Amino acid sequence: MFITLLIWIFCFYSWASMVVISVSSTFHEKYLTCIYIVILCILILLRFSLCKVRKKNIKKCILDSAIPVLHLLFFICHSNIMYGYGNTMGIIGRSEVIGLFSIINVSYNMAFILMGVIYVVLWLVMILKYNMSEKPNKRITFIAIILGIAVEVMGICKFIFTSELSLIYLFSIAVFWMFNLINYIALKVKSLND
């Protein structure tokens, strides 16, 4: 549990540093970003090692480690599309191409394709994680799959017709996490009453 929390924390720090990094960033800023990523990799390896030592469910361990990393990749793509291509006046006070994609020369359209693929993988992994819970509901799983497809279609349509990123991606992830939290609390309350 503690290592999982640390993985989430370092995913956040990695994302925060990769959003504002650019070609003009100092060596210290780039070095710090690399340190966050290295620590994140070490934590994930440590988590896998502990799972093997304690003989825990390896599939569950992989999903638990993949979810924060997929969130990191999704938010890197999302933030770069939203703010990385010169739309930075409100962030740094001037218009500049920033973010990880500015360093590795990823185009605006390619960034959206990457984000779309990562969103699909993230959504499927979260559904798999839910299905590995104590009492999964097949109807909820089906609704989640339909919702994921609908979000992807709406997001792609908006991008094709307006070249803008839809906030429905973020909204769907927030809704999924709220559902998981409510479901977790409901199961705990039910187990206490029993």
Q: Write out pLDDT tens, residues 77-99.
A: 888 887 766 555 445 555 566 67
For residue 64, the model assigns a pLDDT of 80
- Residue pair 15/72 in contact (Cβ under 8 Å)? The answer is yes
Judge if pTM exceeds 0.85.
Answer: no
For residue 89, the model assigns a pLDDT of 47
Please state, in angstroms and rounded to a whole number, the distance separating the CA atoms of residues 4 and 158: 35
Quick one: average pLDDT of 15-28? 78
User: What percentage of the chain's residues is helix, strand, coil (to nearest 5)?
Assistant: 80, 0, 20
Quick one: average pLDDT of 32-41? 87
For residue 21, the model assigns a pLDDT of 78
- Residue pair 78/169 in contact (Cβ under 8 Å)? The answer is yes
- Per DSSP, the three-state class of 136 is coil
Sign of CA dihedral 142, 143, 146, 152: negative
**pLDDT tens per residue across span 113-168:** 898 999 999 998 888 887 876 677 778 778 888 888 888 899 889 888 888 878 88
Please state, in angstroms and rounded to a whole number, the distance separating the CA atoms of residues 129 and 134: 11
